[in-house]
Amino acid sequence: MSSMLACTGAYAEVNLSGFASINAGKVLSGDGVPQFDVPPTFLADYPIVSAYKEEWDFDPESLFGVQISADLSHGISATAQVVARGANEWDPEFEWAYISYELNDEFTIQAGKKRLPLFYYSDFYDVGYAYVWMRAPADNYTWQIFNYTGLNVLYSKDIGDWSVVANLYTGKEDDKDNKLLGDFFFGGSETREIWKDIFGGVINLSKDWFEARFTIMEYTNERYIDGERVMWDGKDHRDGTFYGGAFNFDLGDWFVLTEMSRLDLDDNYDTRMVTFGYRLNELTPFIAYSEFDQDEDGGEEHNTTSIGLRWDFHSSAVFKVQYDKIEDKSFDLAVAGDSRALSFGVDVVF
Amino acid sequence: MKLFKKLFIASVTVTTFSCFAEVSVIVNSSNGDTINQKLIKQIYLGKAKSFPSGNKITVLTLNDDAKGTDLFRQNALNKSNSQYKSYWAKRAFTGKGTPPKELSNANEMINAVKSDAGAIGFVDSSAVTGDVKVVATF
C-alpha cells in the first residue's frame, strides 16, 4: 500500500489509500428454501447480504474503498473511509469517519463512526487483500449490525516478546433499514434495528508465531418492523452479551486460524471456525470449516466447508478462488438452503 | 570449452553478487540512539513511535520494486512482501496506525534521512554515503 502524498497544505498532511475487490460467483447446485420461496442461493456473507444465484454475478461481493486521512500534527488525525459495493448498486457510503488523538505512545482516543469489532476480521472485513479466503467465514460473521458511532480508547504496548493491543469502546447504532433482517429474515418488511448502550472490550496478545484475541460486548436491542415496535416477552427491548475468542498459529509455511463466539440474547447463538493453510511461495492453498448453531430445537443451524487458493501474483494484488459447500439444517429458520458454490476474484490495495 | 568457462565465471559472478546483496538501515548523522534489530522491527511494524531518547521517529521505506525492499522485509521483519502489505493494510484501514512513508529510490532516501533528525530508512548497502549513519545491516 503506498500512502500517496496527495497534498501537503499548510495545516495537514493528507494521505490517500484504498482497496478494491472484483469478485464473481455462482451457485453450482442448491436446494434453496422451498417453504419460503427462496431459489437456490449462496449467501456469501450476512451483514452485506451478498447473495449469489445460479448465474455468474460480479455484483454481490465486489467493492471499492478509499481512505483519506489527514494528519493535523500534535497527535491529531482525521480519517474517513468511503466504500462503494456492488451489492448496494455501487452507492458510496461512509463506513468509517473518526478523529484520533494520540495521547502518548500507548494510548489513543478515537471518536466517530467505526466498525463494531466483534470478530477478529470485523475491522478489515472489506480488505480482501489482508486475509486468505474470498471472505471471512460467513457462519461466524452473521450479525446484522456492522458499525457503531461512539468512543474508542486504544492501548498498545510491547512487553518482552509480546505485543498487547487492547481497546474499550462504547456507542450506539441505529440502522433505519437493516438489509439482513428486512430482506432476508422478515420477508421484505422495513426493519429498523437499534443496538444501544454498547459497551465492549477487546484484548489481543501476539508474539512471532502465536496470537490470541478475546472480546466481550454488551448491548440493548430495540427493533421496529414496518414502524411497529417489536416486543419480546412483553418488553420493548432485550439485552445481549457477546463473547469471542480467536487463536492463530503461524508455523512458518503452515498456519492455523481459529475463532469461536457466543451471543447470549434470548437463546445462545454459537459460532466456530477453523482454517488450515500452507504457503508455497506465491501460492496459499487452504481448507476451512465454519458453523453456526442456535441452542434451541428447530433453531438456526448451518455450516460451510471450503477449499480455496490465494495467489500473490503481484506485489499489490492477489487472485483467489474458492469452492464452498453449505449445509443449512434448519427448517423454520432456514436461511438460504443447502448449496455448492464457486467464486473467484482479485483483491488490491493501494 | 572456452565458452563453457566464460559461462561458468559469469554464473559464479552473478551468484556472488546476489550473495552479497545487503541492505543498510540508516539514520540521521546526529542520531545518538542505540538502535538494535529488535527496535528496527518494532519501528517498521508501527509498535515503536519514539527512539529511546524520546525523539519522535519518521519511518521511511523504499517502494515495493526498489532494490533492497524485499530483502529488508524478509531479513529485518521476517515478512514476505504479501505478509508485510497485509499487516499494514490491516492496521491502516482499521485506525491502528499509519504505514511507513514510501520513497522511490536510494537518492531520495539518503536526502530524506539527511534532512530529518528523527528519520530512519534503509538502502542497498552500495548506495550508502557519508551523509547518513548506518545502524544495522541485513
Provide, as residue numbers in chain B, all residues whose Cβ is less than 8 Å from the Cβ of A127: 89-90, 93
What's the gap in Å between the CA of B14 and the closest CA on chain A? 22
* B1 pLDDT higher than 80: no
Q: At B123, is the pLDDT very low, low, confident or very high (cuts 50, 70, 90)? A: very high
Nearest CA-CA partner of A142 in A50, A56, A19:
A50
A274 by DSSP, 3-state: which? strand
- Model pLDDT, residue A276: 98
A126/B64 Cβ within 8 A: no
Which parts of A226-265 are beta strand (E)? 228-229, 238-251, 254-264
String of DSSP letters for A106-169: SEEEEEEEEE---STTTTTTT-GGGSSSSSS-TTT---S--EEEEEEEEEEEEETTEEEEEEEE
Name the band, by pLDDT with cuts 50, 70 and 90, for residue A10.
low
Rounded average pLDDT over B8-35: 73
Distance in angstroms (rounded) separating the CA atoms of residues A157 and A159: 6
Distance CA A80, CA A99 (A): 9
Q: What confidence tens digit (pLDDT) does each residue in A38-83 have?
A: 999 999 998 888 999 999 999 999 999 999 999 998 889 999 999 9
pLDDT computed for residue A11 by the predictor: 67
Does A218 score more than 80 pLDDT? yes
- Which residue from A105, A114, A349 is facing B50, i.e. has the nearest CB? A105
Chain A closest CA to B1's CA: distance in Å? 37
* pTM of the complete model: 0.89
Condensed to tens digits (0 to 9), the pLDDT of residues A291-336 reads: 999 988 888 999 999 999 999 999 999 999 999 999 999 888 888 8
DSSP class of A39 = P
ipTM reported for the complex, 2 dp: 0.88
Task: State the Cα–Cα distance between residues A313 and B120, nearest whole angstrom.
Answer: 30
Residue of chain A with shortest Cα separation from B96: A154
Average pLDDT for A119-138: 95
Q: Residue B13: is its pLDDT beyond 60?
A: no
**Interhelix angle for B69-77 vs B81-92, to 10°?**
80
